[in-house]
Amino acid sequence: MSDPKEINIYSAYNETFFNNAFGMLKLKNIFQNVRGTVSVEQLVKANPDVLIVLNWENNADKVKKALYENPKLSSMKAIKNKQVYAMDYNELFGYSYNTLDGIEQLAKEMYPDQFK
């Protein structure tokens, strides 16, 4: 996201590891039946409780700040309630033992009370 106003949204389609990881953690994927990109309007209309964004360039804080400050997203529950989580792409989807660490990290983000 080079321009903070630029938003590229990709769904975690049903046949992807993303969707499988969400299923392992009992997370509901509202776009599991959507292949490819999702428009900002679709995202706002879906009004998710949580947003999970992938962090490729070690800039999670910048990405989250841009999402929180984007007026197009301001009506969403995930934005209003500060429920945006950035996960390291390579850790979560590196297809190695790191994947287990990534799933554990996502679980800790989603269910912090279970890890006290």
User: Could you give phi then psi for residue 3, rounded to 5 degrees?
Assistant: -100, 120
In this prediction, the residues of the chain whose per-residue pLDDT falls under 70 are 1-7, 13
The answer to whether residue 6 sits within a structural domain is no
What's the pLDDT score for residue 37? Answer: 86
The answer to whether residue 9 sits within a structural domain is no
Total number of domains in the chain: 1
CATH for 87: 3.40.50.1980
The answer to whether residue 62 sits within a structural domain is yes
Residue 59 domain boundaries: 17-115
- The whole-angstrom separation of Cα 72 and Cα 74 is 6
pTM equals 0.81
What's the pLDDT score for residue 97? Answer: 79
